[in-house]
Homo-oligomer: A and B are copies of this chain.
């Protein structure tokens, strides 16, 4: 017997746990398409590489995993090899002619890659995280992920990047003539890549067609909420998930004080530094 939403709500009642108070600001009814999406099994892939930023990966993944108790989906963690992939970045060259700096003092986690770029299944949604590992791959002239993106792009329904993961999208060519944003602390380094990209200096996230890109790290969670709200509608599963994980997302894609904090050229100086958030549906 699968742990279904109905069973879980029954469990809440039996164990005398509280059920959700009706919200005071209910979310809209799902559209026909969103209702259909709720029955589809979306195949999600997340790429890993040494030096991925942990929260770039797990912020979105937390929301996906929680939502998988409501709507069917599959996950693949895709890397050059299967097995443990460390979050500690490899040594990076900081200035030309210098030897790479060591990064041993940076603590690390290891997340298991379940597929290689060759064995990854058909994917509907592909997410590329950021991290200093992007910089290492560029310095190693490694374009494996770029090649994976160009080979899969046509059949993807959606392509998402978090933080400096946009570097990979830029180098793959898929961002040509499209809007995109990225991590604001490394803006200049990142935006040198690619051609004809309409980089948006002040954006928590952007959407252009099937490509969604977010600002740095924590912005991935806000983008993921907006993306899943587009896909499924907020009412029901997604609202319960966001309130279950007690995350009140930033819902304005233009809120980006970090573009001001990090002095991004073209950042909106009039943009609001502050954002007021509350539980979804309240």
With A188-B16, A216-B245 known as contacts, the answer to whether A62 contacts B53 (CB < 8 A) is yes
A246 at the interface (CB under 8 A from B): yes
Provide the A11-31 mask, 1 if CB < 8 A to any CB of B, else 0: 100111111110100000000
Interface of A: prevailing SS: loop
Stretch at the interface among A70-78, A148-156, A168-176: A70-78
Residues of chain B contacted by A260 (CB below 8 angstroms): 21
Enumerate 11 A-B pairs (CB-CB under 8 Å) in ascending A order: A2-B102, A2-B105, A17-B186, A21-B262, A53-B62, A54-B61, A65-B87, A68-B105, A68-B106, A110-B112, A111-B111
The 7 closest A-B pairs by CB, nearest first: A218-B247, A55-B62, A217-B245, A18-B263, A58-B58, A216-B246, A110-B112
The copy count of this chain in the complex is: 2
* Cβ distance A60 to chain B, nearest Cβ, rounded Å: 10
A69 at the interface (CB under 8 A from B): yes
Q: Check if A183 sits within 8 Å of B246, measured CB to CB.
A: yes
Provide the A104-116 mask, 1 if CB < 8 A to any CB of B, else 0: 1111111110000
Q: Check if A189 sits within 8 Å of B17, measured CB to CB.
A: yes
